[in-house]
Structure 1
Amino acid sequence: MEGMRKMVWLGFACSGHSRRLYSTKVDLRKLRPMILKRIEKRAQLYPVRAMIPVAKEVLQARNILIHGVSTLLNFLPLMACKFCPEIYIGEQGHLIQTCWGYKHRAKNRVHEWIKGGLDDILVPVESFHLYNMYQSVIRHNERFDFDRIPAVVELCWQAGADPHEENLNSSSWNLDAASGSGLEAESLSPNDLVSIANKTITAWETLRSGVEKLLLVYPVKVCKYCSEVHVGPSGHKARLCGVFKYESWKGAHFWMKANVDNLVPPKIVWRRRPQDPPVLVNDGKDFYGRVPAVLDLCSKAGAIVPAKYNCMMKVQGLSAPVNNQLYGIIRESNF
């Protein structure tokens, strides 16, 4: 019994001794100059030279993508829902009940379609423009002192792309300015449309792959509860999050690491296949394929969508049997 008590006493003594070893107090005021100096040295490592060509390639691909989509929209109809972000590429919208934008009304309703535009396909994502990567945090009362530019452009600028270079300096940084930059319908042949569509798909893939590479090197944050994006090591302090407008956080963002979809939203749409009915109905939504809107637009112009999207598009999938029976009844009633 006495042996057990000695062992217990030795254990407490050892644990107390270990606590004394790790209970050293640190004076943060003395470490602050060292931390600031390390931050300044780290800022000197950017931009990474190996990533400068990638940033330039991303800006060039973005310009080609914007001009290509704006040109194709002069030939192909685009429908957008009046109450939610849903879009559909075709002369008339589908009848799938996925509208969730009605206020004070039941969800999952049929969409009310109107004519769409460039912003409906290429969703604009903006962020604050910083003069350097490690400048002071933007506070709420300073939010109007900084310009808002596309997040992809801000990422490329911080990655070393020269905004004043002739090949990269484009008026299409703002999608509104590029909405009317497409060529006239009479000046393009079907072969020209196919060529533009193929170049647009290539630019789309180059843009997304390039942004993915840049995100491995440069920190970008996105709010967990809204679509706000900040290019930099830490998010800004501007209280713009509408989710917590009436909560104790007062609109403060909850930042997390961003991915490609946060900077370049794919905007997934329903895609009509040859085996589907002329108008997509709600009963067959489990059978229909889906695809990013840019690829669906280019495919309708004659381009070939990369094979990696075949599973998503359900190219060889069957159509809804309910729709086939419905159209069979309609045909019989016509005789």
Structure 2
Amino acid sequence: MILKNKGYWNAAVTEGFVRLSRLYSSNSKIDFKKLKPMILKRINDRSKDYPVKAMIPLAREVLEARALLIQGVSILMQVIPVWACKFCPEVHVGPQGHSIKTCWGCRHRAKNQVHEWIPSKLNDIIVPVETYHLQNMSQDIIRHDQRFDFDRIPAIAELCWQAGVSLDDETLKGKDVEIIDTSADSLSKSKVWEIANGTLNAWEVLRTGVQKLLMVYPARVCSHCSEVHVGPSGHKARMCGVFAYESWRGPHFWKRAVVDDLVPPKISWSRRDHDPPVLLDERRDFYGHAPVVVDICSKAGIHLPKKYFCMMKVRGVSVPFQS
């Protein structure tokens, strides 16, 4: 009978809230001056727990996968044509660019325009994400007047460094991966398949490893721009919009970073075998998408994991049914 009596439960919950409010209202005010030394001591002692020794092999694996990914993509670009828009970040994998009107122009001054395609570069496919290189995890927050006193290195390299991997001078300068210049004619079909398979595996290992590292080592990303900070709290440099198209310079609004912030997937339109040579704008609803790295590997003949099938619309039609 008591369980079915809603009035009884409402009265009990109300009485509980009243007692709880009385309990808190009777307490004296908190003296934050006494709490400040305790909080600072806890922050300084937190660095003693890092790096986590069990995560060091994973950090090395992530750094090696990043190097393999950059090398593999740089080689596949010489075999498989990849195009980039001259006025926006759009990328397309195929013999020629698509005709879908999704270009917004330079500084977002246009909308729904046709892309102007040029040969792509490595940074168009693997988007570089840089962050400040910290001396240690417990150092003071970087102020605005200190923004030029710290080096900027790849965010993945900074994450792996905080995880216990030692970095050389080339890595700190962002030139840790040597790009191999290989002629497309010298690569056989089986060799291209082998490189694409290794590139796809490196892509999966990189994203999975970064996701696991972010569960242990904190990272922040700005809510209004692409700025990333690897550390327990974001910096105070007023640079929001410097690395994007915004014109204002203000403080960042930090939130918790995820794997897509450190390893952007760079989604593009994916052309299937039964699609026309040039993707048409009026049939855009029938076409699928895929990360550019995954699309390049699929064009090399690699069988993709099933998790990409829905995004790519592998079994979808390219033209509407005729009634």
* TM-score, normalization by structure 1: 0.84
Report if aligned partners of 1:118, 1:175 keep a CA contact under 8 Å in 2: no
Distance apart, 1:244 and its partner CA: 7.3
SS of 1:51's equivalent in the other structure is helix
Residues paired across the two proteins, number: 302
CA shift in 2, pair 1:176/1:215, >3 Å: closer
Q: Counterpart amino acid of 2:77?
A: L
Bigger drift between 228-237 and 185-194 goes to: 185-194
Report if aligned partners of 1:138, 1:237 keep a CA contact under 8 Å in 2: yes
Report if aligned partners of 2:84, 2:124 keep a CA contact under 8 Å in 1: yes
CA distance in 1, matches of 2:174, 2:20: 63
CA shift in 2, pair 1:107/1:16, >3 Å: closer
Q: Counterpart amino acid of 1:307?
A: K
- 1:166-245 to structure 2, matched below 5 A, reads 174=174, 178=178, 180-242=179-241, 245=247
CA distance in 2, matches of 1:16, 1:96: 60
Where structure 2 has 5 or more consecutive residues not aligned to the other structure, the ranges are: 1-18
CA shift in 2, pair 1:318/1:186, >3 Å: closer
SS of 1:286's equivalent in the other structure is helix
RMSD: 2.5
- 1:23-102 to structure 2, matched below 5 A, reads 24-102=28-106
Distance apart, 1:91 and its partner CA: 2.3
CA distance in 2, matches of 1:18, 1:103: 56
Structure 1 runs of 4+ with >3 Å offset = 14-20, 102-106, 169-178, 243-246
Bigger drift between 150-159 and 234-243 goes to: 234-243
Distance apart, 1:52 and its partner CA: 0.9
Distance apart, 1:25 and its partner CA: 2.8
CA distance in 1, matches of 2:294, 2:170: 23
Report if aligned partners of 2:153, 2:172 keep a CA contact under 8 Å in 1: no
CA shift in 2, pair 1:175/1:185, >3 Å: farther
After superposition, the C-alpha distances for 1:174-204 in whole angstroms (9 at most, x for unaligned) are 37975x4232334321111100000000000
State the identity as a percent. Answer: 57
CA distance in 1, matches of 2:240, 2:60: 32
CA distance in 2, matches of 1:204, 1:69: 10
Where structure 1 has 5 or more consecutive residues not aligned to the other structure, the ranges are: 1-13, 325-335
SS of 2:166's equivalent in the other structure is coil
Equivalent position of 1:146 in the other structure: 150
Distance apart, 1:272 and its partner CA: 0.9
Query: Does 2:26 align with 1:21?
Result: yes
Q: Counterpart amino acid of 2:295?
A: D
After superposition, the C-alpha distances for 1:220-270 in whole angstroms (9 at most, x for unaligned) are 000000000000111000011128754xxx511000001010000000111
Distance apart, 1:310 and its partner CA: 0.8
CA distance in 1, matches of 2:287, 2:21: 66
Q: Counterpart amino acid of 1:99?
A: C
